Amino acid sequence: MSDKQIVLVTGGTGLVGRAIESVVNENCDELSSYKFVFIGSQESDLSNLYETRALFEKIRPNYVIHLAAMVGGLFHNQNNNLMFLRINLQINDNVLLMSHEMKVKKCISCLSTCIFPNHTTYPIDETMIHLGPPHDSNFGYSYAKRMIDVLNKAYNSSANNSTLFTAVVPTNVFGKYDNFNIEHSHVIPGLIVKAFNAVREAKHKGANSAKLMVYGSGTPMRQFIYSKDLAKLIVWTLKVYEEREPIILSVGEEEEISIGNAAQLVANAFSDEIKLELDFDINYSDGQYKKTANNAKLRKYLPNFEFTPIEIGIKETVQWFKQNYLVARK
């Protein structure tokens, strides 16, 4: 019988799950005591308690990295807050309940900076999650994610609990295997697929330049983390982090850039094919202006961790999308 520690990764076929799988494959010797099992929505509907229980009974995990969620970009959230709230509440309650019942050693859930109050002081840190309502644009998803923190506290304080329930809070994640559906995606993958389509159309017409449409004014500020960097940090959390309170996994405040600047980096990544000029459509909502996160807690643990520069991460993501256009999620 294998003595490896089994790590169940929910949402294992998505953006972050695929990145963790890549990190695990590249560090087989260092992680030889673990067996990672990556599960996607096709294997189990985690909003269904019976299917979730069956999955846990089959896998019998020692650890859980809980990434599974119904996710979407600004406009998908705006139009479906009730659905995002209900489904994510169901998923989270089922996964944490099974982690508790199966007495896993550690359950690490993935939150988001959108859970923080809309009106607050900056930078935000791990102590500020519940100090006011989140932005109205995605309140359903935000409150569902917040409840993971509440559930973690409740399970950790339960007399018969033997599991460490904790959470990580990444900023805006992007990278290979992202969702490139223009209507449902986050900002960088949405920009990449729009740029790809604009370049393809311009080439078909014989033009030497094209417009890259950016929804909104481009002024909101964001911190972006490359999915492979986040994956490395989540694996570190699995191995090392023993606090019950969540930890923000993010680039520093000095790495925050505007949506407009992010769009320009996407345009630059296509510059070997054609010149893309940014075109801002201010008829679209900007959403929350900023949600600057403080990564001081992370830096106390890992002062020398090197994040991938965003321009390199975007170039690698664009190259992957070009090569995998037919099979990428759209």
Instruction: Note the pLDDT of residue 2.
Output: 63
pLDDT at 310: 97
Cα 265 from chain centre? 20
| Residue tagged 């460490």 (tokens) | 164
**With 0-12 CB in 10 A as exposed, 13-18 as middle and 19+ as buried, what is 310?**
buried
C-alpha–C-alpha distance, residues 85 and 63, integer Å:
26
Which pLDDT score is estimated for 135? 87
**Bridge-partner residues for 214, per DSSP?**
280
| 143 vs 321: CA distance, rounded Å | 32
Give 10-residue mean pLDDT values along the chain (330 residues). Answer: 87 96 94 96 94 97 95 70 93 98 97 90 94 89 95 94 96 93 84 94 90 93 97 98 97 96 97 93 85 95 97 97 86
141 part of the active site:
yes
Q: How far apart are CA 279 and CA 216, in angstroms?
A: 10
Tokens matching residue 127: 């102590």
Which CATH number among 2.40.30.60, 1.10.287.470, 3.65.10.10, 3.40.50.720 corresponds to the domain 5-174+224-252? Answer: 3.40.50.720
Burial class of residue 8 (count of CB atoms within 10 Å of its CB; 0-12, 13-18, 19+): buried
Of 63, 122, 141, 325, catalytic: 141
Cβ-Cβ contacts under 8 Å for 181 (sequence gap 6 or more): 190, 193, 329, 330
How high is the pLDDT of residue 1?
A: 44
Q: What is the pLDDT of residue 155?
A: 97
Q: What is the pLDDT of residue 314?
A: 98
Q: Are 92 and 78 in contact (CB under 8 A)?
A: no
How confident is the model at residue 308, as a pLDDT? 98
Element (H, E) at 226: strand 224-226
Domain ranges of the chain: 5-174+224-252
- Strands 34-39 and 63-66 turn out to be unpaired
Kindly state the greatest CA–CA separation across the chain: 70
* Positive/negative CA dihedral, 276, 282, 284, 286: positive
